[in-house]
Amino acid sequence: MTSLPERGARLDINTVSFYVNDSWALNDHLSLNLGIRGEKVTSDATGGIAGLDTGAVVPRLAVAFDPLGDGRYTLQATYSHYAGKYSDSQFAANTNVGTPDELEAIYVGPAGQGLNFAPGFDPANYFTYSGDFPIQNVFFDDNLKSPRTKEVTVSAGGTLGDHGYAKLTYINRRAGNFVEDFVTLDGGSTTVTGSGGEELGTFSNVTYRNTDALARRYDGLELQGRYQVAGNFLVDGSYTVQLRNEGNFEGESGNMPAVSSSAFDYPEITPESRYFPTGRLDDFQRHKIRLWGIYNLDIGTAGQVDVGGVWRYNSGLAYSISTNLVSTAEQTAALAALGYVDGPAGRTVYFGGRGTETFAGYGLFDLSVNYAIPVWDSLRPWVKFDLFNAFNNDTQIRSNTAVSADPNSPVDELGIPTGFIEGPRFGEATSVDHFPQYIANVDGLRSFLMSFGVRF
């Protein structure tokens, strides 16, 4: 059950920041750029709760080398730190702003059903296994900060004769200092009370602090190029290959920009291999290609026709085989023996690791034709035709991935099944999101769009 939220509850996260940047052209061959960003962050919430009082200073450094001194070829390198957002989904966790007090319990009373089933309304028939009371048993570590990302890039680029250019960039990105919730034996517990002063139970304390034990690592190559085939015909494109996009922490999910994991909740019964394995993250995509061109045809007093096309290729995204499981009898017994006053609710368990599976890749071609008619001076009516997915590629790019634990499979040392059973719709398309999309809630079959207007 969840108590009613406090009306008018408010959280203010205040950021004061500054940025200093300067560039030096030392000579015709070498230039430098140095930037430093600083910020001071504080927060206050209804009830006089001060959650944040911290800051950060992050550097940005870039160097460019022109070996010939004429701008035709350039070598570049950058080194940067980035401070993450102070998302209220995490930094309001020790307040009742958007997070009312919550008790979680399982019904263990006599079997029955119906609106008039009296035992269902008797608290004595429920086993309370968890409680989250932001003001009473949820705390912030001193000097809690947002996550940090460190990035290094090295690139080389040059002209292609007199008509184009190409540039290759290597990107190394490492994220850490994540904000995590810790529920540990040495973190202690608190006996909490309700709004009327009644005792609701004793629950483990939750402490938010930074950690580098969780990580996200990215290495990639990006090739960009452009070539002017003729005065009225331009070809442009880019190709990205992810050499590595892995970690043991996603850190976000759909419509949830900042979420914690179960990595440090009751760590004695939370092995990494089952709850936060290292592997390919859900946005891992080995190849991504964008190739487009535009042709301009001037037909004099009859107007101008612009024809453009783009080919987009995306290799398949990674996904994991996982499901939500409640604690096993072995885990519950282990926590009781250690002296915990409660235990975790259902948590995501992985079978075989993170990102072990891959969806299908796909390629699509789009075509666009724009026709403008000169009428008078700069007045030009125009009409545009767009053909999306011109070759009608109906590849299924995602699918239902629901599985359940196989109760007949071998179990690990904590009694967690090691096998799984595919759900009845596993591998099937059960959403429009499982196909390429151009218009919200419409799958990616061939689509046609026509628009018109007047320029003047």
385 close to 395: Cβ distance less than 8 angstroms: no
- Tally Cβ neighbours within 10 Å of residue 63: 15
**Residue 454, number of CB atoms within 10 A of its CB:** 11
Higher pLDDT, 404 or 257: 404
Q: What is the mean pLDDT of the chain?
A: 90
**Measured between alpha carbons, how far is 414 from 436 in angstroms, rounded to an integer?**
41
Residue 67, amino acid: P
Whether 120 and 101 have beta carbons less than 8 Å apart is answered as no
Distance CA 334, CA 329 (A): 9
Residues 6 or more apart whose Cβ sits within 8 Å of residue 79: 59, 60, 61, 62, 151, 152
DSSP letter assigned to residue 376: B
Residue 96's DSSP bridge partners are none
Rg (the chain; Cα; Å): 29
Q: Give me the pLDDT at residue 123, please.
A: 83
Check: CB of residue 274 under 8 Å from CB of residue 263.
no
Place of tokens 């008619």: 373
How far is Cα 251 from Cα 253, in angstroms, rounded to an integer? 7
In terms of Cα–Cα distance, which of 363, 354, 371 is closest to 295?
371
Domain locations along the chain = 60-83+133-247+261-455
pLDDT at 179 over 50: yes
Given a cut of 60, whether residue 42 has pLDDT beyond it is yes
The pLDDT value recorded for residue 5 is 60
Would you state the pLDDT for residue 444?
A: 64
pLDDT in tens, 191-233: 988 777 778 889 999 999 999 999 999 999 999 999 999 999 9
Residue 439 has pLDDT above 70, yes or no: no
- Pick from 118, 114, 94, 111: which is nearest to 45 by CA? 94
pLDDT tens string 375-403: 887 888 999 999 988 998 888 999 999 99
pLDDT at position 447 = 84
* Whole-prediction pTM: 0.88
